[in-house]
Amino acid sequence: CAINVGLRRLGEEPTCGSGGGIVKASNASFINNLQAVEFGPYHRHKVVQTVHLTRNASNFSFCHFTVNNNALFDLNEFEEHVNLVEVEEIGFHSCTFSSVNNKGTALQTVISGSFILDDLGDMFTPVRSSVSGFDNAIRIEDGNPSSIYNTDFDDNNTAILAEGSEALYIGGNSFEIPPDYYGPTTGVSLTNCPQFYIKNNFFHGMYNCNYGLIINHSGENNNIVKNNEFSTLRIAALAYGKNSDGQDGSKGLQYHCNWFENNYYDIVVSDFDTEQGSIRYVQGENNKGCGNIFTENGVSLSSENYEFQYHYKNNTNSPRQNPYNISGNIKTVTKNEQVCDQIGRENPMIAPPETPVDWQNTLLNDYNSVSTALATTKSTYSLHGYDNIPIDWNTYFDEIPIPEELEEQVGLYYEICDLQSQQSDICQTAIYCIQSDSLLDTGLYHDWLIRTHTPETDYLLAESYYENGNFNECFQIINAIPGSYEGYNEIENQNYLSYYDLREYLRTNEMTWSDIELGTVEMTTLNNIAISGINGAAFKARSIGSAYDFYTPCLEDIIPQDVLIDLCMYIVNANKENPSGPYKPFEEPKQENFTLSIEETQDKENTLSIYPNPASTVLTIDNGQCLIKEIRLCDVLGKEIQTYTINASKTDLAISHLNKGFYFLHILTDKRIANKRFVKE
């Protein structure tokens, strides 16, 4: 490592002078290092009462981080250029990061770390940052507020991968998403990130198994993906798992003012594992349409099992606001207006949102006004007994005239949705202003977390109390969550209690995470939390394991590549079944004499095998004593490349002519049909 500021891993002895320190670099080059920069836990905060007067001062500007074919080490050993462990606010301004063969990571931050990646220069000649050639270019695990602005991402398998992170600001970036040689490729993938800002970005793919934006399990939080452009992608925007408070709910993820061009699918809502996929039930605000421009004659909206309403402006001058092809469980509603001042990117060089003048008083007044209106509307809704009466949407949309009481109920419901969204936006803006200020006022921060009032912000509040030495208050907040939120996650709550119990053990014994030993009760506790599923405490435990190399082998990806490939495959199969319009892309394809699902058929006799895998020139298919009749070779999207007639129990296929990537074999034997996949190196 070229620069190491105080990080010690499991089994390592402390180094002389470790811990603390400020690093400032400008116009420096870091070439062919296994790791260029690593910061260990370091908090440069002078605190007076509740105000943090100074923050970390380390930063890098106009620096170049490079790994190329001249490196004196195996490129497979390269992990990352920059690793930030429990460090806040390191800045990278107008820097370039590059790798070869999609190896390693440009920048990783773990355990409540945060950073800034953006451009420098005047408004006329800004120098954008660039990140190219990596597996996961930016990886964020259990991150604090981080900003990624005005950066060009090119040829990365995943440009930004964030898990269990709060308040991510992603704006003004360009994502050139490469072909899927070794698996699906993605622009931005967020899992369990409850609050985020994604605006004014450009996502461009290659039509293969490319994803623009994946939002997975953002929970019951109001987030809006707005003013982005998506082009030439298999799936432009994928909402995975729970991203709302459910059917007829008033909170959740929305898509506004985005421009979709030449995509196979524009917006897809899909189940994740056993969790139903969802977004906010009503897409649209203030009696206005969403204002998205859809791919002409593409599939605009697709939902696997979740019903929702999509509101749009019926505009003859802009007909592409009207969704072209949609799933049968999505209701479209025409409006006279739409919410956008601008559709698509507002400006290719966007600046981070500026803190409003006198924002504290302004936002507090706005919050009080909206909260009063929301409380009044909810009270009226309850007084009429509507809480216990499901909305009859079929009657509302299909009968003329609409029954008076039903019309009133729906009107109040829409008003609640709009006010909830406004309230969330005010709270998110306030928290952004607090985090952006050079003087971090934790008291003010706590006030706005309390006003936001979600389980996620309560856990953030508990963490802030703990970090500032208010240990009892931390546990009081966590213990109060079951009584405060009807739909809270019981596993998550118990995990947080176990996590802070473990931190208390370390604190009272004057230990740190690096002091935990393998095979101990503490390590077992941490591991059990880490593998408990998608919840905030699990991502904290996973990030600790990543920082200190606790997990060997590494834990499995939250979103396995196979799952993303399977979505691409289902889309292709559905179009083969219904080429005129794939309205239900995730139904299991009808089986004729073979299937294109990537799930491999179970071999009851355990005889059929393929090897080597990965392979470069020759692939062997061995079926033991059973006959192989036919083999069909298909690419990752299910397109048939070649059919082989075999009539033998074992055969060798020449594959040197194939491009690198994933391929599938559909093997017809004398007993059954089997599916196998392999990687061509």
Q: What is the pLDDT of residues 511-556, one digit of tens each?
A: 988 889 888 999 999 999 999 999 999 999 999 988 887 775 567 7
pTM: 0.83
pLDDT at 584: 35
Q: What is the spatial distance between Cα 600 and Cα 618, in angstroms, rounded to a whole number?
A: 21
Give the domain-ending residue among 177, 206, 224. 177
112 found inside a domain = yes
Tokens of 293: 């421009």
Instruction: Work out the pLDDT band at 606, boundaries 50, 70, 90.
Output: very low
Summarize the confidence of residues 264-281 as an average pLDDT: 93
**Closest to 279 in 3D by CA, of 250, 313, 236:** 250
- Per-range mean pLDDT, top range of 144-148, 494-498, 549-553, 662-666: 494-498
Tokens in use for 402? 């609409």
Question: Does 580 or 130 have the greater pLDDT score?
Answer: 130
Q: How far apart are CA 278 and CA 303, in angstroms?
A: 8
Q: Note the pLDDT tens digit of each residue in 672-681.
A: 778 787 878 7
Task: Give 620-659 pLDDT, tens digit per residue.
Answer: 999 988 899 999 898 765 677 899 999 999 999 999 999 8
Query: Does position 2 have pLDDT exceeding 80, yes or no?
Result: no
Is the pLDDT higher at 661 or at 502? Answer: 502
The last residue of one of the domains, among 177, 211, 231, is: 177
The dihedral region occupied by 227, where left means phi > 0, alpha psi between -120 and 50, and beta the remainder, is left
Whether the pLDDT of residue 316 is over 80: the answer is no
Which two three-digit tokens encode residue 31? 């070439």
State the Cα–Cα distance between residues 219 and 245, nearest whole angstrom.
7
Q: Is the pLDDT confidence value at 602 over 50?
A: no
* Helix, strand or coil, per DSSP, at residue 449: helix
Domain assignment present for residue 636? The answer is yes
Q: Say yes or no to pLDDT of 1 above 80.
A: no
Q: Give the residues across from 610 on adjacent strands.
A: 621
Report the CATH number that the domain containing residue 598 is assigned in CATH.
2.60.40.3080
Q: Residue 145, SS3?
A: coil
User: Which of 34-43, 312-321, 443-452 has maximum average pLDDT?
Assistant: 443-452
Peptide bond into 614 cis (omega under 30): yes
471-484 vs 455-467: helix axis angle to the nearest 10? 170
DSSP sequence for 8-55:
--TTPPPPTT-S----EEES-EEES-S-SEEE-SB----EETTEE---
Q: What is the mean pLDDT of the chain?
A: 85
**Predicted confidence (pLDDT) at residue 366 exceeds the cutoff of 70:** yes
Sheet holding 609-611, edge to edge: 609-611, 618-622, 650-654
Treating both helix axes as pointing N-terminal to C-terminal, what angle do 536-548 and 521-530 enclose, rounded to 10 degrees? 120
Residue-level pLDDT at 528:
94
In this prediction, residue 635 carries a pLDDT of 73
At residue 209 the predicted structure's pLDDT band, cuts being 50, 70 and 90, is confident
Residue 529 falls inside a structural domain: no
Q: Are 338 and 289 in contact (CB under 8 A)?
A: yes
Residues, the chain, total? Answer: 681
- Looking at the DSSP assignment, which residues form a beta bridge with residue 557? none
Cα dihedral 68, 73, 76, 81, rounded to 10, equals -60
Total of domains in the chain: 3
pLDDT band at 300 (very low <50, low <70, confident <90, very high): very high
Q: Indicate the pLDDT class of residue 32, thresholds 50, 70 and 90.
A: very high
Q: Any idea of the CA torsion for 565, 567, 571, 577, to the nearest 10 degrees?
A: 100
pLDDT of residue 421 exceeding 70, the answer is: yes
Tokens representing 548 are 């200190």
pLDDT of residue 598: 32
Residue 315 lies in a domain: no
The residue ranges of DSSP E strands in 228-307, in sequence order, are: 229-231, 235-240, 253-256, 259-261, 265-270, 282-283, 299-303
Question: What radius of gyration, in Å, describes the C-alpha atoms of the chain?
Answer: 26
The domain containing residue 61 runs over which residues? 1-177
Q: What pLDDT band is residue 557 in, cutting at 50, 70 and 90?
A: confident
Q: Does the pLDDT of residue 246 top 90, yes or no?
A: no
| Residue 370 token pair | 């909206």
Looking at 145, 177, 209, which one is the last position of a domain? 177
Give a yes or no: residue 497 inside a domain: no
Sheet holding 51-52, edge to edge: 47-48, 51-52, 440-441
| In-domain check, residue 17 | yes
Res. 559 pLDDT band, cuts 50 70 90: confident
User: What residue type is 226 in one-letter code?
Assistant: K
Count H helices, E strands: the chain? 10, 43
Q: Greater confidence, 209 or 243?
A: 243
Asked whether residue 47 carries a pLDDT value surpassing 70, the answer given is: no
To the nearest whole percent, how much of the chain has pLDDT over 90? Answer: 57
Tell me whether strands 168-171 and 196-199 are parallel, antiparallel or unpaired.
parallel
491 within domain boundaries: no
pLDDT bucket at 562, cuts 50 / 70 / 90: confident
8 A C-beta contact, residue 649 and residue 609: no
Q: How far apart are CA 235 and CA 227, in angstroms?
A: 17
So what's the pLDDT on residue 504? 96
Identify the weakest region by mean pLDDT among 258-262, 372-376, 661-665.
Answer: 661-665
Task: Quickly tell me which residue has 């994502």 as its tokens.
Answer: 175
Among 14-18, 62-66, 397-401, the minimum mean pLDDT is found in 14-18
Q: Band of the pLDDT at 166, cuts 50, 70, 90?
A: confident
Q: Which stretch, 571-575, 651-655, 665-669, has highest mean pLDDT?
A: 651-655
478 lies in a domain? no
Q: For residue 242, what pLDDT is reported?
A: 94
Helix, coil or strand: residue 443: helix
Look at residue 317 and tell me whether its pLDDT is greater than 80: no
Mean pLDDT across 375-385: 96
